[in-house]
Amino acid sequence: MFSGRVAVVTGSAQGLGKVFSGVLLERGSKVCISDVNQSELEKTYKEFKSKYAENVISQQCDVTDSEQLKEVFRKTKDTYGQLDLVVNNAGIVNEKNWQQCIDVNLNGTIRGTMLGMEYMRKDKGGKGGLILNMSSLAGIFPVNYTPAYAASKHGVIGYTRSWSMHPDVVNNGVRLVCLCPAFVDTDMIKMDDDSKFVGTDLAQQVIEKFGIMSTDHIIPVFVNAIEDEENNGSVISITLKGANKIPLPMP
Ligand SMILES: NC(=O)C1=CN([C@@H]2O[C@H](COP(=O)(O)OP(=O)(O)OC[C@H]3O[C@@H](n4cnc5c(N)ncnc54)[C@H](O)[C@@H]3O)[C@@H](O)[C@H]2O)C=CC1
Ligand SMILES: CCCCC/C=C\C=C\C(=O)C/C=C\C/C=C\CCCC(=O)O
- The domain segmentation of the chain, as residue ranges, is 6-242
pLDDT for the residue 40? 98
Is 149 a catalytic site residue?
yes
CB 26, CB 223: distance < 8 Å: no
How far is the C-alpha of 117 from the C-alpha of 55, rounded, in Å? 23
Nearest-CA residue for ligand 1 atom 29 is 62
In this prediction, residue 202 carries a pLDDT of 87
Predicted TM-score (pTM) of the model is 0.98
Q: Which residues of 127-157 are buried (b: 16+ CB within 10 A; e: fewer)?
A: eebbbbbbbbbbbbeebebbbbbbbbbbbbb
The dotted CATH code for 6-242 is: 3.40.50.720
ipTM score assigned to the predicted complex: 0.96
* Ligand 1 atom with minimal separation from the 88 CA: 39
What's the CA gap between 148 and 138, in Å, rounded? 10
Among 135, 120, 150, 139, smallest CA distance to 225 is for 135
Spatial separation of the C-alpha atoms in residues 64 and 82, rounded to whole Å: 24
Q: Which long-range contacts (CB under 8 A, 24 or more apart) does 186-190 make?
A: 186/14, 186/15, 186/16, 186/215, 187/14, 187/15, 188/15, 188/91, 188/92, 188/93
Measured in angstroms, how far is the CA atom of residue 207 from the centroid of ligand 2?
Answer: 7
Q: Is the CB of 155 under 6 A from ligand 1?
A: no
Q: Write down the pLDDT at residue 97.
A: 97
In the set 52, 80, 149, 159, the catalytic residue is 149
pLDDT of 203 reads: 85
Looking at residue 191, what is its pLDDT?
83
Please tell me if the CB atom of residue 92 comes closer than 6 angstroms to any atom of ligand 1: yes
Q: Would you state the pLDDT for residue 247? A: 96
User: Which amino acid does the sequence have at 133?
Assistant: N
Q: Which ligand is nearest to the CA of 133?
A: 1
Ligand 1 atom 17: residue of nearest CA: 188
Which residue puts its alpha carbon closest to atom 18 of ligand 2? 138
The reported pLDDT for the residue numbered 204 is: 85
- Distance (angstroms) between ligand 1 centre and the Cα of 248 equals 26
CA of 173 to the centre of ligand 1 (A): 28
pLDDT for position 140: 97
Whether 112 lines ligand 1, by a CB cut-off of 6 Å, is no
How do strand 174-181 and strand 235-239 relate by DSSP bridges? Answer: parallel
- Separation of CA 69 and ligand 2 centre (Å): 27
The stretches in the chain having pLDDT less than 50 are none
Nearest CA to ligand 2 atom 5: 189
Going from the Cα of 141 to the center of ligand 2, the distance in angstroms, rounded, reads 9
Ligand 2 proximity of 30 Cβ (cutoff 6 Å): no
- Does the CB atom of residue 191 touch ligand 2 within 6 A? yes
| Predicted pLDDT of residue 44 | 99
pLDDT at residue 5, rounded to an integer: 98
Q: End-to-end alpha-carbon separation of the chain, Å?
A: 37
